[in-house]
Amino acid sequence: MRRLLFYTEKLKHLPRSGWLRKKINNPETVAAHSWQMAMMAMQLSRTMIKESYDFDKIIKMCLSHDIAESLIGDITPLEETYAQKPEAEKKAIDFIAEDADIPEIIFLFKEYEENKTPEAQLAHDLDKLDMYAQSIDYEKKDKTLDLSEFRQSAEKEIKTPLGKTILKDLSREVHA
């Protein structure tokens, strides 16, 4: 347990790079992002669609999808090292799985990255929905911000019907 906490503790204090780039004061951390995704999945598990998804797996994917960032940092598509990110993440996941004795994260990470199963696809949508919701929150707190690029990116990447339904609901917040 101690070794796992070593990695998760780092994520509790690692700010998300995209928000830092936009000079957001006190930006969310990687752990806060993963937690919010997991909370959304937990809420969805209470609905009628729960028979369509393995929400236990989705929640675990949400909580672990960025754990590699405890070693490699939060690398965004705008950074030069982004092309090497998949290989760096795989190495980090393999190392953490062995060091923290949590082999399940290897399979969860692989499924998430391949994005072929309904669970992985919904987890990806939750990742983008969190970014969308976070951008709204930051703009409400600072009226000078324009974070529409984050919402536009999320809108392009959300694929599942459920994700699109949630997006439609969240978009009302922008236009309110």
User: Domain coordinates of the chain in residue numbers?
Assistant: 2-174
User: CA nearest 3: which of 80, 87, 75, 103?
Assistant: 103
∠ CA 152-157-158, rounded to 5°: 100
Say yes or no: domain 2-174 is CATH 1.10.3210.10. Answer: yes
Whole-model pTM: value is 0.93
* Per-residue pLDDT tens digits of the chain, which is 176 residues long: 899 999 999 999 999 999 999 999 999 999 999 999 999 999 999 886 767 899 999 999 999 999 999 999 999 888 888 899 999 999 999 999 999 999 999 999 999 999 999 999 999 999 999 999 999 999 999 999 999 999 999 999 999 999 999 999 998 876 65
